[in-house]
């Protein structure tokens, strides 16, 4: 899963881009559109200079290029935003799987949304690669699926030393 993207020199720590107030455990929604709306609400938290609708449109526009579902019930919707100062991540685990338009026709259960500054191409690719690598670990996925709260989901996602990598 996107392993080829990790050939960059700068270390990236996923923990720098995630905060507990952007994590939801067992969200009840009924569609991919509603998921994107909720992700936009999370990603705009503490961003005075950004607009929730703009973030929603960025996620939807990226999705039109091809599904951001990575398999195993997981999706990594992402977008670029003009004027954003630093990347941010939001995590949502759904109460019930939702159709996502995935190539494998399987619904998703979790979304890891990434928002990056418009011109942050290298950093965008590094973070996507780390997210994909992290989520390809079966033990990590199992811990995420059994987490009983947003705090446990947050802790499970950030647990262990594999998060800080200097690739190359």
**Residues known to be catalytic:** 78
d(CA 43, CA 90): 6
Identify the bridge partners of residue 92 per DSSP, sorted by sequence position: 24, 111
H-helix or E-strand spanning residue 81: strand 78-81
User: Residue 46 contacts by C-beta under 8 Å, 6 or more apart in sequence?
Assistant: 19, 21
């Amino acid at each position: 899963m996107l392993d080829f993207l990790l050939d960059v020199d700068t270390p990236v720590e996923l923990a720098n881009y995630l905060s507990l107030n952007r994590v939801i455990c067992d969200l009840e929604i009924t569609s991919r559109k509603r998921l994107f709306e909720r992700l936009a609400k999370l990603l705009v938290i503490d961003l005075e200079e950004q607009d929730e609708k703009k973030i929603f449109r960025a996620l939807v526009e990226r999705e039109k290029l091809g599904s951001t579902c990575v398999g195993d019930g997981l999706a990594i919707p992402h977008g670029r935003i003009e004027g954003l100062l630093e990347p941010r991540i939001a995590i949502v685990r759904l109460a019930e799987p939702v159709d996502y338009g995935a190539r494998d026709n399987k619904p998703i259960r979790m979304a890891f949304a990434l928002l990056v500054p418009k011109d942050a191409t290298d950093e965008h690719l590094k973070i996507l690669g780390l997210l994909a690598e992290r989520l390809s670990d079966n033990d990590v996925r199992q811990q995420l699926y059994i987490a009983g709260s947003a705090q446990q989901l947050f802790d499970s996602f950030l647990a262990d030393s594999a998060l800080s990598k200097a690739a190359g």
